[in-house]
Each structure stands twice: as C-alpha cells, then as structure tokens.
C-alpha cells in the first residue's frame, strides 16, 4: 500500500476477492501466500485508482475480461534467460551425466512464465548433444505469458544484458548463436522451439499428465502456502520416473514436506533432488 492508496486491502477484502475469482473463473487462489496476494491486489487497486471496493466487486461480476486481467495481475511473471547462472552450472556439472544415459529425456518446466528458463535448458541440452532425444513440456497457469513463450520473441536489450548469465552458467559459445534478430527483437532458433510443447496447466487443480526424468519448478512454490506446497510437491513426486530429478527455487524447500524422506539431495544450494528409487 502506498501513502496515496484510496482503499486498503485487508484480510476481509482479500477473502472477498479470492471467493469472487473462484466463483467467476474457477481459479482457486485460497492457498496462495496471503501476503503476496494482498500486495498484488493493492497494486491493482492503486494503479487503476479504484476508490470504491463494492463497485470493484460489482464490476468484476459483470465483466469476465476484468476478472481475467486481475488474475494475471495476481501472478508474478519475472524471469530471465539463464536466471541464476550457477543453477544452470550445477545442471551442467551434476545432472547432465544422468540425462546422458537415458534413451529419451522428458522434462517438465512447471510455472515457466514467458519461457526464458525453458529456452535456457534447451540451449544447455543442445550443447551436450542431448536436445535431439529430449521432449520438453513447459506449462503455466497464465495464457498470456505462454503466448510469449510460444512465440520465442524477446526484447533484444534484455538478452544482451543477460549474455553474461549464459557465460557464467558455463556456456562457451555466444548466446546469439541461438537466436536471430528481427526488427529489434530476438527470435529463438526453430531447432530449440521444435523440442518444446507449451500448454496451460494449473498446479492447484490439474493432475499429473506424464512421467518425467527432470522436473524444474523454480520460484513458483514461494507464492503458495505450506499445504499447497506439499500438495504440489506430491504431484511432482508422482510425475517423476525412477531416480527422476526435481529442481525447485533457491528460496524454496522440500524439507518437512511429505516427499522429503523419499528424495536425496543432489545440490543443497541449488535445490536439486533425486528420487531415491
């Protein structure tokens, strides 16, 4: 809330919004972290200069496009190419050898946002000659970010800024080897795009849809409360092949979750784990 906020979103207002969204869209945010949701709704109200909360509820009831817009505001979509380069270095050093032994590699990026993380992984696989035998599923709750991911088009400046991420992750080519530039935009190479299937999947309500050798879900669980985190970790466990690997965000954990005793740590700092059997 800024000092200019016209109305303040407290616990009751937040609950009313969560119920309304569920009733009118079927998206259930009740197990998201309240603190983060509160900040996002407050921001929506401040940016749109909304001064009457009851009127906001009425407008949302009458306008499904407005509900969709609010839902998109509730999810945080920040990401970048080779985000946390040391994480990708640990994949190169500690996970690739296991992937190498597989006849086909199935990977699931859950909560992939605009897709930079997925293309980073595809580039990495290509550098170990593993891309050809890989199938990468990339999912998110938000169709708008998935459309960007699917297009493979990004802002050129942000890619140039992150050229160092690629190098720091252990890449020894040029990031620009993996895209062409068109009208000031980056366009990811078709070879990378052809190995990725983008689709919507809601971690709150959708089930397991395949078996994966590696699941990557970073910076998503952090927005969920403990009971939803546990449920989603169980979904990941059920979706892993024997000895399958799981990577979560550096601020996330599976300690004290129902799957902790069934997983062994690969890298404690970069939160990579492996199914014990």
Which positions lie near ligand SAM, rule CB under 6 A?
75-79, 83, 111-113, 117, 140-142, 145, 202-204, 218-220
**Strand pairing category for 240-248 and 272-275:** antiparallel
How deeply is 263 buried, as exposed, middle or buried, from its count of CB atoms within 10 A (0-12, 13-18, 19+)?
buried
CA-based nearest residue to 69, from 21, 26, 139: 21
Collect all residues with Cβ–Cβ distance below 8 Å to 43 and sequence separation of at least 6: 73
Closer residue to ligand SAM, CB minimum distance, 134 or 142 = 142
In the complex, the smallest distance separating the C-beta of residue 86 from ligand SAM, rounded to whole angstroms, is 14
Closer residue to ligand SAM, CB minimum distance, 47 or 78 = 78
In the complex, the smallest distance separating the C-beta of residue 144 from ligand SAM, rounded to whole angstroms, is 9
What is the arrangement of strands in the sheet containing 240-248, beginning at the earlier edge strand? 196-200, 134-140, 105-110, 212-217, 240-248, 272-275, 263-267
Reported as type and span, the H/E element at residue 265 is strand 263-267
CA-based nearest residue to 249, from 223, 221, 224, 208: 221
Closer residue to ligand SAM, CB minimum distance, 202 or 264 = 202
In the complex, the smallest distance separating the C-beta of residue 67 from ligand SAM, rounded to whole angstroms, is 16
In the complex, the smallest distance separating the C-beta of residue 27 from ligand SAM, rounded to whole angstroms, is 8
Closer residue to ligand SAM, CB minimum distance, 13 or 140 = 140
- Distance CA(243)–CA(266), nearest Å, equals 11
In the complex, the smallest distance separating the C-beta of residue 78 from ligand SAM, rounded to whole angstroms, is 5
- Distance CA(250)–CA(134), nearest Å, equals 25
Closer residue to ligand SAM, CB minimum distance, 62 or 225 = 225
Cα angle for residues 209, 210, 212 (degrees, 5° grid): 135
Closer residue to ligand SAM, CB minimum distance, 177 or 206 = 206
């Amino acid at each position: 809330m800024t000092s200019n906020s016209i109305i303040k979103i407290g616990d009751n207002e937040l609950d009313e919004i969560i119920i309304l969204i569920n009733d009118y869209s079927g998206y259930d945010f009740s197990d998201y972290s309240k603190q983060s949701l509160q900040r996002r709704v407050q921001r929506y109200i401040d940016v749109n200069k909304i001064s009457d909360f009851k009127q906001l509820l009425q407008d949302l009831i009458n306008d499904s496009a407005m509900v969709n817009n609010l839902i998109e505001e509730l999810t945080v979509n920040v990401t970048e190419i080779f985000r946390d380069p040391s994480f990708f270095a640990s994949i190169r050093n500690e996970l690739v050898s296991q992937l190498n032994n597989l006849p086909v590699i199935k990977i699931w990026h859950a909560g992939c946002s605009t897709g930079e993380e997925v293309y980073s992984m595809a580039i990495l696989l290509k550098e170990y000659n593993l891309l050809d035998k890989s199938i990468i599923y990339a999912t998110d709750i938000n169709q708008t970010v998935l459309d960007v991911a699917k297009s493979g088009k990004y802002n050129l400046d942000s890619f140039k800024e992150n050229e160092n991420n690629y190098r720091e992750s252990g890449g020894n080519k040029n990031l620009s080897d993996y895209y062409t530039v068109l009208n000031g935009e980056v366009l990811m190479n078709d070879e990378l795009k052809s190995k990725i299937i983008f689709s919507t999947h809601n971690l709150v309500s959708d089930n397991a849809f395949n078996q994966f050798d590696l699941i990557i879900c970073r910076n998503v669980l952090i927005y969920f409360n403990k009971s939803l985190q546990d449920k989603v970790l169980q979904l990941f466990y059920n979706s892993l092949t024997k000895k399958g690997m799981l990577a979560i965000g550096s601020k996330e954990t599976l300690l004290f979750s129902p799957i902790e005793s069934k997983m062994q740590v690969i890298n404690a700092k970069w939160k990579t784990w492996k199914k014990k059997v």
